[in-house]
Chains A and B, each alone.
Chain A
Amino acid sequence: MLELNQVTKSFGKIQAIWPLNLSLARGETVALIGPSGSGKSTLLRVMIGLVQPDQGRVNVDGHDLDAANVQQLRQRMGYVIQEGGLFPHLTASQNLSLQAQHQGWQAERIEARIAELIELTRLPVDILERYPMQLSGGQRQRVSLARALMLDPDILLMDEPLGALDPMIRAELQIDLQKIFHSLGKTVVLVTHDLAEASFFTTRLILLHEGRIVQEGSFNELCHEPATPFVAAFVNAQRALHPGEPEVGR
């Protein structure tokens, strides 16, 4: 469904992504994890064409992403970021309608789709006429998710979608997200720096460090068979936040 082939990217002298391959099957969920600056967000932005790779190809369902088809292929990808990226001058319902309006949908069809989505994302109806400033953090992320799902895309790209939420709301939304992913059968790429969150959603974790994939595998594999000292250190640093579980490597 989504394939990266020998993709590289540098910003000036900094090599953000070294030659990298990645392939996702339809309906699969992968989590890109790693510390800040590891290149995981850049990789996500390469997938949706916000960043042009220096070399290599991005293939979406058999089509190589290029300047000519990027607008078209973006209709098949939903993108959700940490603070939601909702437009503050538009109401929730206007935010949701933007893309469909541009596709020339009739008002009734848009309305019906919005009704489906707020049910799916468990949003109260009365938030539709509110502006992003008038929503809670959790509601904003739910609206953002609904906006990404508006055209029923095949792929969902999510960059720290829960990063700005407090723990209770975060846990609640995690469960809802997982249900949605499973029920819709979307291909999902989730960027997070939180190992536990990543393992909550999928068994296919990809750990990035300085623009390279250092290890790919399940939570257990990363914990018990760290490929490099960095992997062990990364895992340990996160485990330290959850005392009571044994440290890796002893």
Chain B
Amino acid sequence: MLAVLVEVGIAAGTVSGASSLAADVSLINVGSKKFTESVILGEMLTLLVRTTGAEVEHRAQLGGTRVLWNALLTGDVDIYPEYTGTLFREILADANLTSLTDLRAALAGHGIHVSRPLGFNNTYAIGMLAELADSLHIRNISDLTRHPHLRLGFTNEFMDRGDGWPGLRDHYQLPHSDVRGLDHDLAYRGLVAGNLQVTDFYSTDAEIAYYGLRVLADDQRYFPAYQAVILYRDDLAVGSPAILGNILKLEGRISDAAMAGLNARAKIERIPESRVAAAYLAAELGLAVTVPRHTWWQRLLRHTGEHLTMVGISLLGAVILAIPLGIFAVRQPRVGQVILGIAGILQTVPSLALLVFMIPLLGIGAPPAIMALFLYSLLPILRNTHAGLSGIAPELRDSAEALGLPANTRLWRIELPLASRSILAGVKTSAVINVGTATLGALIGAGGYGQPILTGIRLDDVGLILQGAVPAALLALAMQGLFEMSEKIIVPRGLRLPQQG
């Protein structure tokens, strides 16, 4: 059963993922992480590639370091901005590297190159509201040990990283027990609202000045340098010297202050990252770059297309597999219980985790999202097919058999029509769940309505969030309506009649 699923998955991947997996040399994919600075740098790289005349796509705000690193290794992404500290402490932590030269050699082993630093150091920093810090006389991270009751809230990535909270706690012997993980962009709001008092941020974050935050001094030198660099693949270095030459123009050209300023323009002044990036390239490098403009309407159309593709293909695949499996499960009750059990377990895997599991198999973009949604859709359809068929009254089964009709005829003319309402309800459930879950696809580069939601959360922009959330909700309602209408076509009329008195 698992083997079947994996095979189907791989087959789906090779069909729909063909453009990203088969070396499409003419298209360059730039990646970025889901925080504003990374997106701005990604936009700069995208614009720099585009000025060479190459086809380029920015797969913006992907889930996190692992997603991007794996995508770079598989070639789903050709270029993305990274930080030296992350490379030393996280990506290549096992290698115990100390110098940039070692790093260069270690990356070369993976077929990856690294640029020289871009100029700014965006290290992790620990901080709190300046007012509160003053009243408690906290200046350094080590001062926190005197205040064990402070509420600490860190970004989820910081909570888990080797160079994050666990290391920091051990290094400074911090005694705090009230520590929780949350989204980076929510942390600032949490600080202002008083829900938490200490958080991590990046030293170039625009919010530091905006919210009046105090960066605590790393007095015992825990955090390494997080110099921004560009990672790119071997084949880009070899095959496209013009592109490479262009992107390396960024080396040493962005200072700490400049980056904080760019972040502020995007996050606080709400200027789109592409325009922030273009303006900087024009001013700093004298490059006249054009930013393709998309209207609100075009973006909605694109997201709708992406969303419908994800939901449609995954649902179709699930219907094709789950209905026959459900029929099989009724005929072979023992194997059937195993099949239902496996589908049930799949359903309990958290959706984000399932999405990320698919990346090593299918890369990033629509294929892994479709595969994950497909797996999620199986259970409701499977269970309802099983329930619909096994719920057929015994006397009707007997009557069908007593008429001497063969099993196939009984299935198509009697059993499936009688179970149609239940099966259709299962498909409807899957469809509606899919529409919602597909918004997470944006985290692994599949686009869809999740894209504006993700950007909206990052920029604290309710309007943007609604641009994704409202169409997603409307689509779910439309699905519901569509299925209720199709019930009139699919469920036989005789089953929809009221009982006569």
B170 within 8 A of A: no
Known contacts A133-B497, A133-B500, A134-B497; is A87 also within 8 Å of B399 by CB? Answer: yes
Classify chain A's interface size: 20 to 34
Beta-carbon contact of A85 and B495 below 8 Å: no
Beta-carbon contact of B494 and A90 below 8 Å: yes
Known contacts A81-B395, A88-B495; is A98 also within 8 Å of B402 by CB? Answer: no
> CB-CB < 8 A to B401: which residues of A?
50, 74
B409 within 8 A of A: yes
Known contacts A48-B402, A133-B499; is A85 also within 8 Å of B395 by CB? Answer: yes
A202 within 8 A of B: no
Residue of A nearest to B498 (CB): A133
CB B420 to nearest CB in A, in angstroms, measures 8
> CB-CB < 8 A to B406: which residues of A?
71, 102
B342 within 8 A of A: no
B398 within 8 A of A: yes
CB A164 to nearest CB in B, in angstroms, measures 11
Residue of B nearest to A78 (CB): B402
B242 within 8 A of A: no
Q: Which of B404, B405, B494, B495 has the most CB of A within 10 A?
A: B404
Residue of B nearest to A72 (CB): B404
Residue of B nearest to A71 (CB): B404
Stretch among B359-367, B374-382, B410-418 lining the A interface: B410-418
Known contacts A74-B402, A99-B404; is A83 also within 8 Å of B493 by CB? Answer: no
* A91 in complex: contacting residue of B409, B413, B414, B494, CB < 8 Å: B494
Beta-carbon contact of B402 and A79 below 8 Å: yes
The B-contacting residues of A in range 59-117, CB under 8 angstroms, are 70-75, 77, 79, 81-83, 85-91, 98-99, 102
B463 within 8 A of A: no
> CB-CB < 8 A to A136: which residues of B?
500
Beta-carbon contact of A132 and B399 below 8 Å: no
Q: In the complex, A85 Cα to B396 Cα: how many Å? A: 5
Beta-carbon contact of A89 and B418 below 8 Å: yes
B313 within 8 A of A: no
- Give 1 or 0 for each of B331-348: 1 = CB within 8 Å of chain A CB: 000000000000000000
Q: In the complex, A133 Cα to B498 Cα: how many Å? A: 7
> CB-CB < 8 A to B395: which residues of A?
81-83, 85
CB A61 to nearest CB in B, in angstroms, measures 15
CB A187 to nearest CB in B, in angstroms, measures 16
CB B402 to nearest CB in A, in angstroms, measures 4
Q: Which of A71, A73, A83, A88 has the most CB of B within 10 A?
A: A88
- Give 1 or 0 for each of B415-447: 1 = CB within 8 Å of chain A CB: 001100000000000000000000000000000
A135 within 8 A of B: yes
| 3 nearest A-B pairs in the assembled complex, by CB-CB distance | A85-B399, A74-B404, A131-B494
Given contacts A87-B399, A88-B495, A133-B497, 8 further A-B contacts (CB under 8 A): A50-B402, A77-B402, A85-B396, A89-B418, A90-B492, A102-B405, A133-B500, A134-B497
* Interface, chain A (partner B; CB < 8 A): 45, 48, 50, 70-75, 77, 79, 81-83, 85-91, 98-99, 102, 131-136, 147
25 A-B Cβ contacts within 8 A?
A: A48-B402, A50-B398, A50-B401, A50-B402, A74-B401, A74-B402, A75-B404, A77-B402, A83-B395, A85-B395, A87-B414, A87-B494, A89-B418, A89-B492, A89-B495, A90-B494, A99-B403, A99-B405, A131-B494, A131-B497, A132-B494, A133-B499, A134-B497, A135-B500, A147-B403
